[in-house]
Amino acid sequence: MANYKIEVIQTYSDFLLKEKEWRQFENSINKLCVTQCYDFLSTYWKYFKDDPNPSFGFKRELYIIFLYHEEELVAIAPFCILHFKIKRIFTLRSVQFIGQQYFSNYCDIICDQLTKEKFDIIFEWLYQNKKFDIITLKFIPEYSLISDFNKCFIHAYTSEFSTSSYADYADYSIKNYSKHFRNNFRNDLNRIKNDGYIFDPQIKDFSLDDMDEIMRLAKSKKKDNKYSIYENPVQNQIAIEIYNKFKAKVIFVKFKSTSVAYNVNFYFRNTKFVFDASFDRDYRFYSLGIVTMDFNIRDTFINKYDEHILGWGEDHYKSRIMKTSTMLFHLLKKGNTIFSNLLFMKKKRMALNYQQELINRVTKTKIKK
């Protein structure tokens, strides 16, 4: 570790004290997703650290590693350690990224040029200075150099596109929407008009006054066996603060003054992140989810955003409106305790099975489309 130094942040108060240095460092990073920036991660940890959800253990420990080379900050590993009880006797400690539990689309070591040397130094220091049973880092984007240094498992796909790949919205729709889809889309809009409604989405700055309508429409997801993030108090608090910090905008679709669909977008470095969306399932006949998403894509081209990120998941509508996606990986590594080998083998089998099931589901979705 010649000329390298490591500093570890283990308390929320120290996290906040690092704000100025962190912001200066992230400004030097060429490619950085919103879910890797200081504002997102500090907001997330503010609420997640005391989350009572037992799915994420009985204790959450902050463990952010700052790597310096010749006194210059060169990498931040935004880790946390989750503690779980096994059969009420044993404690299992899992090293994870902050944010991979809820919401995050991309998780990574924050570094402009992550080299194997920097990666090895971070992890060698972790193994030598902290006891843990497993490392399970999820939602690592395919362009991350982590996957170049390690065997990773496919964990998810996120739908996204760059506007630079298309001349305009018309070019995008031709290259992404099938002829059958475009016919159905026109039929949906005609059906709305013929039934006496007007499809005229409105974009507005987010305010707390919007939450009643957003939460009402989000509950409709239950009819499709999905869940509303706003029914979880911790997720609700994180979402609202994120909306305010990143100056979110809401797209509302109203039929005769009643809100029937919404998209919530927030923005970072001229990238639009579609964080949440829903529609009233009583109006399913009009394909409101699709037509509202299409309006959102049009807006991306009109306002000249560089990228449009729809988020991870295998929802059928995503493959219908967007052909491009990014693979998200899962890095699994042994811990340094007597339980680590056995636990690693079990987690490896689970990751392999999940990867195969994911590939099968995605293949079926593409065939269905």
Q: 267 φ, ψ to 5°?
A: -135, 145
DSSP-derived secondary structure letter, 253: E
Whether 307 contacts 297, CB under 8 Å: no
pTM over 0.85: yes
> CB–CB of 276/217 below 8 Å?
no
Which among 103, 110, 99, 101 is positioned nearest to 146, based on CA atoms?
Answer: 110
* Beta-strand relationship, 325-334 and 134-141: antiparallel
DSSP classification of residue 307: E
In the structure encoding, which two tokens stand for residue 284, read together?
A: 């399913």
Beta bridge partners of 96: 80
Q: Is 287 left (phi over 0), alpha (psi -120 to 50) or beta?
A: left
Q: What is the pLDDT along the chain (369 residues), one digit of tens a residue?
A: 678 999 999 999 999 999 999 999 999 999 899 999 999 999 999 999 999 998 899 999 999 999 999 999 999 999 999 999 887 788 999 999 999 999 878 999 999 989 999 999 999 999 999 999 999 999 999 999 998 888 999 999 889 999 999 999 999 999 999 999 999 999 999 999 999 999 999 999 999 999 999 999 999 999 999 989 999 999 999 999 999 999 999 999 999 999 999 999 999 999 999 999 999 999 999 999 999 999 999 999 999 999 999 888 767 778 788 888 899 999 999 999 999 999 999 999 999 999 999 888 776 555 444
Which residue matches tokens 């603060």?
A: 241
Sign of CA dihedral 276, 280, 284, 286: negative
Of the candidates 105, 32, 75, the one whose C-alpha atom is nearest the C-alpha of residue 270 is 32
Nearest 10 degrees: Cα torsion 242, 246, 249, 250: -10
Structural domains in the chain, sorted by start: 4-150 (3.40.630), 160-325 (3.40.630.30)
d(CA 328, CA 354): 13
Alpha helix (H) ranges present in 139-268?
146-149, 169-176, 179-194, 211-218, 233-245
